[in-house]
C-alpha cells in the first residue's frame, strides 16, 4: 500500500493519509459496510482539503 501511495503523492504526510484511506476501504469491505457510506465519511473528513480527493 505504501508503494501505491508513494507512486501517486510526493510528500510523506499525504502518502500516510492515502495509506490510511486504503486501510479504511479494506476494513469497510471486511465489515461489509457500503462503499458509498465510506466515500461520504472520507469526503466529509477532507471537505476542507479537496486536493486530497
Q: Is the pLDDT of residue 30 over 90?
A: yes
What is the count of structural domains for the chain?
Answer: 1
Segments forming the whole domain that contains residue 45 = 2-52
Q: Please state, for a pLDDT cut of 70, what percent of the chain lies above it.
A: 87
pLDDT at 31: 93
Residue 45 vs residue 27, higher pLDDT = 27
3-state secondary structure the chain: CHHHHHHHCCCHHHHHHHHHHHHHHHHHHHCCCCHHHHHHHHHHHCCCCHHHC
Amino acid at each position: 500500500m505504501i508503494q501505491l501511495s508513494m507512486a501517486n503523492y510526493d510528500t510523506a504526510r499525504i502518502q500516510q493519509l492515502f495509506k490510511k484511506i486504503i486501510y479504511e476501504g479494506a476494513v469497510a469491505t471486511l465489515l461489509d459496510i457500503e462503499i458509498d457510506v465510506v466515500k461520504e465519511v472520507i469526503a466529509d473528513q477532507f471537505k476542507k482539503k479537496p486536493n486530497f480527493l
